[in-house]
Amino acid sequence: MNGFPSILESIQDLTKPQIDALLERANALKNRAPARLPLDKSLYVATSFLEHSTRTKFSFASAIKRLGGNHIDFQAENSSLKKGESLEQTLLTLYYQGIDICIIRTNESHLLDQFKDNPPIKIINGGDGSNQHPTQALLDLMTFIEVLGSLKGKRITIIGDCEHSRVTHSLIELLPQYGVELCLCGPESFLPDTQAEGVTHTSDLDWALENTDAIYLLRIQLERHDQSDQRDNSGYHESWGINLSKLKKHNVTLPIFHPGPANIGVEISQELVDSNLWMAHHQVRNSVYMRMAIIEAMVGNGDNKVGAQYRDLSKNILGEDK
Ligand code: NCD
């Protein structure tokens, strides 16, 4: 897609028409439209997950294969990153070896900012710390539309540890563009203080359940909490977890979304995971098509500046020979 960014770090890197085009393409791929790859070369995509993952890594791997591309998994543990090499030099190594795109997951927020002006390689953010997870938000958007129809005027409530959730931070940037009123619900210490148009906050779960069209649950992301800020989560399910009796009490039937991994018995009960309200498997299924659309758009963005500043190896830093 011409003009598509070469570094997809956050939702803000995309325009609304680009997001619309991704939705259209992901749905077409789901309906078995053929993949469009550059015909003059084969596609090589690396995944570099410096943090654990099941869904994101495997759906990218599956998307790459379905596009007819080659997937190389870069194992950070066994790489020169462990010998003190910078991420920039590592990415440049992948670039010179002919990799088209690298998908990176890291526990460090904003790690990819440094590459925006001079990208050493095309990069898709697979989740950086608690900052952003744009591809998850995009596949969630695709699934919300599939389940709820038009999103204009609908309220979607994210319940749980919103503050540490990179998915929430991406959804805050994305969903209001589609007319959603996004409500963040949880204990005060789990709510970010960001004020954004179309986004409200509440710690009143009873009100939230009665005034929403869908719920989106989050696990407590303990690994992203400050050491100084450990709360006691032993009574979490009783206070904030969603189960059948809470839905019955409010007489509501709500579709339940979750980016995974879900902690059953904490934010969600087993009976709801086993029910027809549980939408997480639709999100997982759609993740492959949305990620295919994103890879395709980035490969075909016509950007020949990638690696440019590094390609000029003739630079004579010692000046002219006399
Ligand atoms: C999320 C993530 O890693 O940010 N999961 C995902 O990518 N599917 C959510 C989480 O970590 O809880």
130, 109 in Cβ contact below 8 A? yes
Ligand 1 geometric centre to CA of 115 (Å): 23
**This prediction's pTM:** 0.94
List, in sequence order, the alpha helices (H) in 175-229. 205-210
Confidence of residue 312 (pLDDT cuts 50, 70, 90): low
Q: Which pLDDT belongs to residue 97? A: 92
Distance CA 269, CA 263 (A): 9
**Which one is predicted more confidently, 264 or 321?**
264
Ligand 1 geometric centre to CA of 261 (Å): 7
Distance CA 298, CA 98 (A): 15
Ligand 1 close to Cβ of residue 259 (< 6 A): yes
Confidence of residue 36 (pLDDT cuts 50, 70, 90): confident
128, 96 in Cβ contact below 8 A? no
Strand ranges (E), the chain: 7-8, 44-49, 70-73, 101-106, 122-128, 155-159, 181-185, 199-202, 214-217, 256-257
User: pLDDT by residue (tens digit) across 210-236?
Assistant: 999 999 999 998 888 877 666 677 889
Q: Which pLDDT belongs to residue 322? A: 46
In ligand 1, which atom is closest to the CA atom of 221? Answer: 12
Distance CA 238, CA 27 (A): 38
Q: For residue 223, what are the CA distances in angstroms to 47, 229, 258, 261, 290?
A: 22, 11, 18, 13, 28
Ligand 1 geometric centre to CA of 310 (Å): 33
What is the mean pLDDT of the segment spanning 242-251? 97
Q: Which pLDDT belongs to residue 7? A: 97
Ligand 1 close to Cβ of residue 169 (< 6 A): no
288, 62 in Cβ contact below 8 A? yes
Q: For residue 72, what are the CA distances in angstroms to 44, 45, 150?
A: 7, 6, 38
Provide, rounded to the nearest whole percent, the portion of the chain with pLDDT above 90: 78
What is the mean pLDDT of the segment spanning 243-267? 97
In ligand 1, which atom is closest to the CA atom of 133? Answer: 4
DSSP reduced 3-state for 268: strand
pLDDT at 37 over 50: yes
pLDDT at 311 over 90: no
Ligand 1 geometric centre to CA of 160 (Å): 13
How many other C-beta atoms can be found within 10 angstroms of the C-beta atom of residue 237?
17
Which of 56, 161, 286, 291 best tests ligand 1's pocket when mutated (most atoms within 8 Å of CB)?
Answer: 56
pLDDT at 242 over 80: yes
Distance CA 182, CA 175 (A): 7
CA angle 164, 113, 284 (to 5 degrees): 50
The residue whose CA has the least distance to atom 7 of ligand 1 is 56
Ligand 1 geometric centre to CA of 15 (Å): 24
Residue type, 230: Q
pLDDT at 45 over 70: yes
**Would you give the DSSP letter of residue 312?**
-
Ligand 1 geometric centre to CA of 297 (Å): 23
Most confident range (mean pLDDT) of 117-121, 181-185, 225-229 is: 181-185
User: Judging by beta carbons within 10 Å of its beta carbon (0-12, 13-18, 19+), is residue 187 exposed, middle or buried?
Assistant: middle
Ligand 1 geometric centre to CA of 175 (Å): 18
Among 118-132, 255-269, 271-285, 299-313, the least confident range: 299-313
Using DSSP bridges, classify how beta strands 181-185 and 199-202 pair: parallel, antiparallel or unpaired. parallel
**Comparing C-alpha atoms, which of 257, 185, 266, 254 is closest to residue 219?**
266
In ligand 1, which atom is closest to the CA atom of 166? Answer: 4
Ligand 1 close to Cβ of residue 255 (< 6 A): no
Using DSSP bridges, classify how beta strands 256-257 and 181-185 pair: parallel, antiparallel or unpaired. unpaired
What is the mean pLDDT of the segment spanning 46-50? 93
What is the mean pLDDT of the segment spanning 35-46? 82
Q: Which pLDDT belongs to residue 228? A: 65
Interacting residues of 173 by C-beta distance below 8 A, sequence separation 6+: 10, 11, 12, 137, 196
Which of 49, 167, 217 best tests ligand 1's pocket when mutated (most atoms within 8 Å of CB)?
Answer: 167
Ligand 1 close to Cβ of residue 260 (< 6 A): yes
Distance CA 45, CA 40 (A): 16
Round the average pLDDT of the chain to a whole number and report it. Answer: 92
Distance CA 51, CA 224 (A): 12
User: pLDDT by residue (tens digit) across 70-114?
Assistant: 999 988 777 777 777 889 999 999 999 999 999 999 999 999 999
Q: Which pLDDT belongs to residue 229? A: 67
Ligand 1 geometric centre to CA of 262 (Å): 9
Ligand 1 geometric centre to CA of 243 (Å): 21
Q: Domains of the chain by range and CATH?
A: 7-133+285-299 (3.40.50.1370), 135-282 (3.40.50.1370)
